[in-house]
Amino acid sequence: MNIFEESINKGVPVETPIILRVSDLYAICSDKRKIESIIEENFARYTDFLNEIAHPEDIELFQSLGVVTNEKTLEKSLCFAPSAFISSIFISLNIDDIYNKVATFNQESDTNQDLHNWIKTKSKDRLELLARTNTEEELKEEFPALYIKYKKQDKLMKDLITEFRAVRKATSISTVKKIPIIKRLTKTLHRLGFKNEQELMKCKGKLPVDNFCTRYKNSLEELIDKVDQVTEYVTTHPLNFDSISEEDSEKLSLYIANQFLQLCDMSEKKDKQRYLYHLTSYFNEKPERKVDDKTVITIGKIENLT
């Protein structure tokens, strides 16, 4: 356990959900390539896991991190935040009150099943509406995030039709050389929900809205059904920061202390002590932090010093 991990495990092991923006981590650390490598390698494994248990289409997944407490060992670690996964689903479905539930989840008596049931309840009507949506206008109005994806896929489909026609008509390309090109194009049409080239050509140059919505409804519904598995995965696969320098460990520790301070300021009086436990331990661990003016991080336009 390095300086950074020792720091977040100081104090009373109570649940204190905080979210850390990956862009902030890149900004404050000196060795940005190292941080990027750690995050991207772990995120690749995370997305591989999602592809094993579901068909996530190209749902935008947030890389936000969170300090998570292991229920069995009470050890804290830095993981991809479960709330970030849920946020990805809710933004796709245009549900806007995720923060009120997820940010306060598990502070009192909530269980994973409570959260899962709430997500299913909140998503039910939106999934049903998505399944019924069959016009661009309705898709744009009700599901703006998915509409952006639809327009991109519609353009991709038009380009695909053009490429198929060009390859089929090309006399300068031998039949043997056409095979890998057609295989590549076929792989793309499958991603767009078409079974074969003939079905693609029948759509008359317009990506069917109802087919698009059905694909994403099925994908999002499947991901919602797997929330428990995803939560289990991210909380049991913490990111390992052993390889970062002592300087960057200290900066990350300061960043997390800053997040605890901000949440302490925003929380209700009865919850403030949860965040103060960490802050007290942060300064008690190294009393010199109170007067240190060397470790400085900048988050947005605000400078933070220990």
The answer to whether residue 278 sits within a structural domain is yes
| pTM for the structure as a whole | 0.77
Residue 139 lies in a domain: no
Regarding whether 110 and 45 lie in a shared domain, the answer is yes
Domain count, the chain: 2
Integer Cα distance of 44 and 207 in angstroms: 29
Do the beta carbons of residue 49 and residue 233 sit within 8 Å?
yes
Contact in structure between 85 and 234 (CB atoms under 8 Å): yes
Same domain, 79 and 11: yes
pLDDT of residue 164: 92
pLDDT confidence tier of residue 10, bands split at 50, 70 and 90: low
Domain limit, last residue, from 183, 210, 237:
210
User: Residue 198 is part of which domain span?
Assistant: 144-210
Taken in order 55, 60, 65, 67, the sign of the CA dihedral is: negative
- 138 belongs to a structural domain: no
Domain assignment present for residue 220? The answer is: no
Task: Over range 5-25, report the average pLDDT.
Answer: 69
Tell which wins on pLDDT, 101 or 226. Answer: 226
Residue with tokens 């703006």: 144
Phi and psi at 264, nearest 5°, equal -60, -45
Structure token digits, residue 125: 């009507």
**58 DSSP assignment:** T
| Whether residue 165 is found in the same domain as residue 299 | no
Examine the pLDDT at 98 and tell me if it is beyond 90: no
Same domain, yes or no, for 8 and 50? Answer: yes
pLDDT in tens, 177-225: 999 999 999 999 998 888 998 988 888 778 999 999 999 999 999 999 9
Length of the chain: 306
Q: Are residues 238 and 296 in the same domain?
A: yes
Residue 296 three-state SS = strand
Mean pLDDT of 71-88: 83
186 and 282: one domain?
Answer: no
For the chain, give the mean pLDDT.
81
Which range has the worst mean pLDDT, 17-21, 105-109, 146-150, 172-176? 105-109
Q: What is the mean pLDDT of residues 121-143?
A: 94
Q: Which residues pair with 65 in a beta bridge?
A: 20, 80
For residue 304, what are the β-bridge partners? 297
